[in-house]
Structure 1
Amino acid sequence: MANSSLIHEFRAYGAWRAALCQRIDAYRRWLTGNDLGDAQADLRLQQLVERLAEDRLVVAFVAEHLNGKSELINAIFFADGSRPLLPPIAAGTPTRTICPTELLYDRGKPPRIELLPIETRATRASSTEFKRFPEEWRVIPLDTQSADTMLRAYTHVNQTKRVPAEDARRYGLWHPGASGNSAPSGDGTVEVPCWRHAVINFPHPLLEQGLVILDTPGLNNIGADLELTLSTLPNAHAVLLVAAADAGITSGDLALWREQIVPRRGRFAVLNKIDGLWDDLGSDAQTGVGIAEQIDDCSRLLELDAARVFPVSAQRGLLAKISGDDALLARSGLPQLEHALATELIPARHEIMGALVRAEIQNMTNATRSRLEARRRNVLDQLQKLEYLRGKNRSMIGVMMQKVGSEKESFARELASYQALRGVLSAHTDRMYTHLGMDALSDDWRRASEEMRRSIFTPGVRSAMTRFFRNVRTGLEHSAEQVAEISTLMAAMYRKFSDEHGLRLTAPPPFSMLRYLKEIDRLEKTYQRRFNTLVAMLTTEKLTLMQKFFETLASQVKRCYGYANREADLWLQAIMAPMDTQVREHQMQLRRRLESIKRIHQATDTLEDRIEELLAVERGVRSQLDALEKRCTTLEEALEFRAVPLAQAA
């Protein structure tokens, strides 16, 4: 049986990234071999290759009840027989997912399950932050050659235990009087998951190419895990809500969709287990009508286009793939869901990564081209002046030497001006980083936390959080003002050196804080929704929940600031590198011109020898320009994503 369109497209996307990495690395080596690179350019290209190689596509599966999530995951991704099925999926364990679980592959680690203890929920740190501290995780080795051993290892993921109710309250998992909470047992304990988060490192071909599958718990557990609500699910490239076809969208499914799944691209609803309707509804026609009605109801309740609602039978689809039954596979509805994921996810991800790589590559190749063109213009200018000296006496050579010396001194004075401008630029950069600084953010975080702890009334809590978001937004806005100042200053520097010294510099690339401001807006709206939900609760419990919620929220703001800082670093490198490179190149060429004329004046070199030498240099530079254009063409070709038609790949 042929691979599904989703698996085929994903593998093609992986091959595209690998081929592009090879082309970029070849370009980096070419720059080094031709003395056109520097440490900064080398680092930027290496970072680009690493970003491509480490790119991941996250697909999250969400369900409120036991609706066959594991079977669906297995049927879509792990039915090709290239590796053993993942034990939890193969076993079809009826245990509900109670711990957010990532299925991925990290080449730097052996196959294993990493488990973050539930006790870490009592801290301010998020699960993502704990990933930097491997000693905090319990590790269960995976023997990929033994399905039984793997199954036993996986049973750890959904382990529970009983803890004192007060501990469960500190973890944010139990609150007296809250709906859905069971009363403590006679010994004052309640049941909680053993683990806060699980990561299964498994060497499957799709996971090796960057696929990450996120299996999430139900509404109560997601609601308790604020990181899922605030970051993990909103940032997933695809989120599939899995509901039962016979029951349709339940109140729990609807609450899950409305409260936890941010409406955006890549959101789908799956009505699983339609095979239960095949016999119940009689004829195929009656079955089709019944399923169509469920699709319409689902579309209406979720306010989701009906084209994004897919009726499937994951169990029958999995069986069909394993047995090679094409007719059963078609009836299962699985191919339609896979096609929708393939046509939306992969092209969208390619568009984003392609645009990022293209912008960086164009910026660097333009800088290299400008450098070579400046070098060639300089050589041609030297040739023209040396050819003018043919037949002239030594005094004329002396005059030219003085002229070049004056030009060199003039450029040295301009460099002093350039360094002064760099000082102004540095001041703007310092101010930008001050507004983006983690220290200032931590101070705002601490002040807001203290205000919330001192508050016993709702207005005080609301005021503390509102002030925190206002300060965060103000920091980003002030940073954006400094970015604008830096852009204006750099554009003026580019124009000045282009006009006065013939340096060919394109306008500096733009940078905007808008995406980070929008992320802060999203987080604030999430806070407002959660706050309005909690105002009806008892004051003490409400404050406890809001404090826990704020800590998680602030960690996501910190993460946003971290991204903004890294992007600002890359942008500053991108705008300064071309200028610095061309200034160094111009200095070097002036020095060489002066030394060349000195040698001719002192009769160390003959005029004709120097002309021949420059002609050879010009040919070499022209050859490098031709080679650069070929490199640009191959890179542009590599940027195009062309998947082989599925029929040819089968």
Structure 2
Amino acid sequence: MEEQQPIVVQLAAFNQWRNAVATQIQTLERLIADSGLLPGSALLRMGNLAHCIANDQLRVAFVGEFSRGKSELINALFFSNYGGRLLPSASGQTTMCPVEIQHAPMGVPGMRLLPIASRGLDHTIKDLKKNQSIWQKFPLPLEQASQRTAALQHLTDTICVGVEEARRIGLCPPLNQTRKDRLNTVCPPCGLGKVQIPRWRHGIICLPHPVLAAGLTILDTPGLNAIGAEPELTLAMLMEANAIVFILGADTGVTQSDLDIWENYLARNPRQNHLVVLNKIDTLWDELKDPEEIEEEIQEQVRRTAERLGVDTAQVLAVSAQKALLGRIKQNEELVEKSRIEALELAIAHNLIPAKRRKICDEVRTTIDRIFADQQMLLTNQIKDLEQNHHSLFALKDQTEDKVPKLLAAHRQTITQFEQDRLRFEQKKRDFLSQAEHLLFSLLDPVAIDLVISNAKNEMLSAWTTAGIQERLRQFFTETLSRFEKALHGAERLNTLMLISYSDLESRYGLPHLNALPYAIMPRRAELMEMAEHYESFGKRLEIAVNTQSAVVRKAFLTVAQRVRDFVAETLSQAQVWVDEVITVMEKQLELHTQRVQQQLQNLQQIEQVLGSLDTRIGQVIEEIAQKRKQQNQLKAAYAPLKQLLEEQPGPGNASVPPQAAAVQGGSAG
């Protein structure tokens, strides 16, 4: 049954398409590398892009309050082939920590769990994932259901700790926010002064499964009504997800706590795709009602849910995860159909997966179109030079022997003058690089951002009011945006300075005109402003921010600061690549002109020695022109299937891989 599920079919098709795109980029990269015209940085970007696409993951997060059936829905959608529940989801078996379900690269299943005590460390989840020693590893036997269930039962583990220990790691309100009648907490299993908290902070499950092998990563979140105690859950997992499946109860509809989660944590990211699931419709299956009445009640709940969340009714789907899982395990097609799980699979397959595909297309076009255009321009210029050389050779053939020495003397004088001008250009280039460091690179230096982060962190921890903390967070983004403004002006000045230096040589020696573009920092500034607005809104939700020594505030700000620092560092890297490419393209034109005039000198010398050798040289030039045109045609032929892959629209169950790409790919489907 699993092979026929729409989500499995579409993921396999998406994986095949993604591999075909990566393969075509690699083919294009090899052709461009063979021509030796573009700088290594352009080839490196193409290689990195192909690698990222081939190894990219579609991250889908399942989000909702406690007991909405998130884990059961994941079991029904993806893991019914195990003949039972994979993730614990029965009564009293709530998943207590965020869980990532990934493909097992070596085919060996396993589970890693991060102890809750790690909350006391000043490190983000992203950093902690790199430290293997801090995680506890568990084997995950899949063949034996009892052993598999026992292993995964760890996800529901809790421990009893003292109130002070819970308060130290941010899982208990500080004294100034605790009601007096609750100061002496009693936990029934543990006694006076104890509280029950999750044993684990984060879980990673690796499984050899076709859906995961096709590039899907599943994020199972715990109930989000306690999200204020773990802000990294929002900042890290939810913000990095490509799509969100928001799960509600069909019997309750949108509760106030559901609405708070939607408005404050999910609907704020316009780049994400959302589906809303009304689970447990089996609670509405009343045998005393006609099927038409039940259907009308379900559709009315769908309509009210869409209206309250402000989404289209097509984004709201009503299902019964428990009945879907039962029907698939028992191979009861009627019960599976009644559960409506296949409609949800179609929505995921035909909405979330194409959205991820469009994102990949945008990234490929942004990188490849510019490189392709640069390569074609350089080849066109070379062909033009060769044709001029070919014309010159014919003209020289008509020259008499007494004119050749005069032509040689004039040409040598031109070469000498050009070399002097080129040396002066080299000095200007060094000045340009110095200006680049001053006007652009220093403003985006991560070390300087670290100082801003350190100052902001110290001032934030010394603030005594929520308003003070919010003001410091706004000031932090104001300082960072100010650096972006200065860097933007610096990039514009650099572009003008270098083009002025090049234009002098261009006018003297007839070099190809360059339309070097200033570094496009403005869109990244807009993205940073959007990030600032989101995090400022998130900061207002930290209800325990007034505690100046709060570990939650510190970790929340460090998460924000790390994301901003990574963003600035990525911008710096792009700016450095831009400066390198601008200089390299100009140097390439100077080098090509040097080769051209040297070749013309050799032509004159050969004419001087043996005028009859002109016919041989003319034949060589004709061959070189043919070779350059062949390279142009090969480049277009390699670009065409990639362009077709990016432009065509996928259909249901269609891998959407053109014949050219399929032939190159060699049948490597997901």
- What is the TM-score normalised by the length of structure 1? 0.88
Question: Is 1:599–1:605's contact at 8 Å kept on the other side of the alignment?
Answer: no
Aligned to 2:297, the other structure's residue is in SS state helix
Displacement of 1:55: 1.8
Displacement of 1:624: 1.9
Displacement of 1:227: 1.9
Question: Which shifted more, 112-121 or 417-426?
Answer: 417-426
Residue 333 to residue 480, structure 1, CA distance change in 2 (3 Å): farther
Select 1:616's aligned residue among 623, 626, 638: 623
1:217 aligns with 2:222: yes
Aligned to 2:364, the other structure's residue is in SS state helix
Question: Is 2:474–2:536's contact at 8 Å kept on the other side of the alignment?
Answer: no
Select 2:115's aligned residue among 102, 113, 117: 117
Cα RMSD for the two superposed structures? 3.3
Select 1:287's aligned residue among 294, 298, 306: 294
Question: Is 1:363–1:574's contact at 8 Å kept on the other side of the alignment?
Answer: no
The AA in structure 2 aligned to 1:334 is I
Question: Is 2:491–2:518's contact at 8 Å kept on the other side of the alignment?
Answer: no
Please name the residue that 1:44 is paired with. 45
Separation in structure 1 between the aligned mates of residue 256 and residue 237 of structure 2, nearest angstrom: 23
Residue 448 to residue 98, structure 1, CA distance change in 2 (3 Å): same
Question: Which shifted more, 44-53 or 112-121?
Answer: 112-121
1:474 aligns with 2:476: no
1:627 aligns with 2:634: yes
Question: Is 1:174–1:181's contact at 8 Å kept on the other side of the alignment?
Answer: no
Residue 570 to residue 231, structure 1, CA distance change in 2 (3 Å): farther
Alignment of 1:365-376 (within 5 A): 365-376=372-383
Residue 271 to residue 495, structure 1, CA distance change in 2 (3 Å): farther
Residue 89 to residue 623, structure 1, CA distance change in 2 (3 Å): same
Please name the residue that 2:139 is paired with. 141
Aligned to 2:397, the other structure's residue is in SS state coil
Aligned to 1:646, the other structure's residue is in SS state coil
Alignment of 1:69-88 (within 5 A): 69-79=70-80, 81=81, 84=82, 88=86
Residue 522 to residue 42, structure 1, CA distance change in 2 (3 Å): closer
Which fold has the larger relative contact order, with Cα–Cα distance below 8 Å and residues 6 or more apart in sequence?
A: 2
* Percent of aligned positions that are identical: 28
Question: Which shifted more, 406-415 or 339-348?
Answer: 406-415
Please name the residue that 1:183 is paired with. 185
Please name the residue that 2:575 is paired with. 568
Please name the residue that 1:104 is paired with. 102
Residue 140 to residue 368, structure 1, CA distance change in 2 (3 Å): same
Question: Is 1:13–1:641's contact at 8 Å kept on the other side of the alignment?
Answer: no
Select 1:269's aligned residue among 263, 269, 276: 276
List gaps (5 residues or longer) in structure 2: 657-670
Residue 531 to residue 178, structure 1, CA distance change in 2 (3 Å): farther
Question: Is 1:25–1:46's contact at 8 Å kept on the other side of the alignment?
Answer: yes
- Cα deviation code 1:389-420 (max 9, x no counterpart): 22433343333333443443444344335434
Alignment of 1:422-433 (within 5 A): 422-430=429-437, 431-433=439-441
Aligned to 2:289, the other structure's residue is in SS state coil
Displacement of 1:26: 1.8
Question: Which shifted more, 422-431 or 5-14?
Answer: 422-431
Please name the residue that 2:366 is paired with. 359
The AA in structure 2 aligned to 1:96 is T
Alignment of 1:209-608 (within 5 A): 209-263=214-268, 264=270, 265-279=272-286, 282-321=289-328, 327-430=334-437, 431-458=439-466, 460-489=468-497, 500-503=509-512, 505=514, 507-508=516-517, 511-528=520-537, 530-531=539-540, 534=543, 539-540=546-547, 545-572=552-579, 575-603=582-610, 606-608=613-615
Question: Is 1:60–1:213's contact at 8 Å kept on the other side of the alignment?
Answer: yes
Displacement of 1:646: 3.1
Displacement of 1:50: 0.8
Please name the residue that 2:666 is paired with. none
1:17 aligns with 2:40: no
List gaps (5 residues or longer) in structure 1: none
Displacement of 1:36: 4.9
Separation in structure 1 between the aligned mates of residue 18 and residue 513 of structure 2, nearest angstrom: 32
Question: Is 2:432–2:494's contact at 8 Å kept on the other side of the alignment?
Answer: yes
The AA in structure 2 aligned to 1:156 is H
- Cα deviation code 1:443-462 (max 9, x no counterpart): 12221222233344555434
Residue 278 to residue 182, structure 1, CA distance change in 2 (3 Å): farther
Displacement of 1:191: 2.3
- Cα deviation code 1:478-531 (max 9, x no counterpart): 223323334445665676666653426454375234345444544455435543
Question: Is 2:440–2:490's contact at 8 Å kept on the other side of the alignment?
Answer: yes
Displacement of 1:93: 7.4
Residue 546 to residue 19, structure 1, CA distance change in 2 (3 Å): closer
Question: Which shifted more, 457-466 or 177-186?
Answer: 177-186
Aligned to 1:199, the other structure's residue is in SS state strand
Residue 613 to residue 433, structure 1, CA distance change in 2 (3 Å): same
Question: Which shifted more, 170-179 or 277-286?
Answer: 170-179
Separation in structure 1 between the aligned mates of residue 402 and residue 383 of structure 2, nearest angstrom: 27
Separation in structure 2 between the aligned mates of residue 226 and residue 86 of structure 1, nearest angstrom: 33
Separation in structure 2 between the aligned mates of residue 267 and residue 406 of structure 1, nearest angstrom: 69
Separation in structure 2 between the aligned mates of residue 184 and residue 524 of structure 1, nearest angstrom: 41
